[in-house]
Structure 1
Amino acid sequence: MSYLERLKKEFEELTERLKKLGAFLNSDNVSAVNEVELYLLNLQFYHMQRYQEILNQRLNGSYGQVLIEGIDLIAMERWDQIHAKGYDTVHDQQYKTSALGNAAICYAIMAGCTPRMRKRFRHFNKQGRPPNGWPWSSAHFKPGEGDSDQERVRELTKAAALIAAEIDRIERKKQSPEAEA
């Protein structure tokens, strides 16, 4: 699947999620949500709309009209990990060691490699040999297909979101020490 095809698919999926969340926020069911949850849902809706706007501009080739900062990319990636892929806090608690941190390191290293090394990483990964330290199967290591700055930013974004997930896992462990036992 090409980069443009992935963007289109992501835009369509995000549009559907926005419709569902918007319908919920405008329904009578929203009264069952406490004030903090409602605030977080509205914040999530705002960031989803912002991301949709950015995707739309990328699809139309009009970069630069919306300044997107690294922290926005990271927040959107973490949101996607949780809501689109199901890698939520319950899922992340299954890891007893730094699996999430190790995965982040692998993506960060990939982003910093020369084109020659990036090609080797991709080649070995396709043969079922992910980078040393990768905690899961090679099917789960998805580096960029090219060597562009855009591909490197995507890998760094994944790395940072995985670091955020690992920090959250460690912080939750402090609140519930028996979860680590």
Structure 2
Amino acid sequence: MPQVKPDQIVEEIRKCFCEKGSDMYAGEAISQTEHALQAAFAAEQAGEAQELIVAAFLHDIGHLLHKHDEDCAAQGIDDLHETIGAQWLVRYFPPAVTEPIRLHVDAKRYRCATDAEYASRLSPASVLSLKLQGGPFDETEQAAFEQNPWAQDALRLRTYDEAAKIPGYETPELEYFLTYVQRVLKQPTLETN
């Protein structure tokens, strides 16, 4: 199988945002692209490593890849976007990008089980998706999540995810964060499947 070049992967990601990024973000008053940019900007402002900035930028790419309507949660469908996105990205990106993405829904379920204030601040759309995603973790699920080596990164990603729902908030443009994607893809330690 021929190796895919970083420029081709960046173009594929750009295409996803161009085709579906203007869709509304799961019941929120912003688009998918605005949400991605705000999450990545929050991670950058927090001084995160470029891999976690890319994870914040791409954490919901599964919403751009699945074939459901944008309001599928209102129809009672969990789109499994975290799994779809991580499975698509794992072909190109290191675990420092893909594992926090794969775990960002689990991080929400964990925080809802362990932090009542966090759970009380969830938007109505996030409360609905939480229910579809299995609700707050039980004690066994909490313990398993805590043992995952990527749990802390996923929890930080969750913080940026929750902060990224502000209508009209100014961030750098899509191309700015695609340069982070390009840099991570070009790292010499990257191994692709």
Smaller-chain TM-score bracket: under 0.3
Q: Which has the higher helix share?
A: 1
Q: TM-score, normalised by structure 2?
A: 0.26
Higher relative contact order (CA 8 A, sep 6+): 2
Larger radius of gyration: 1
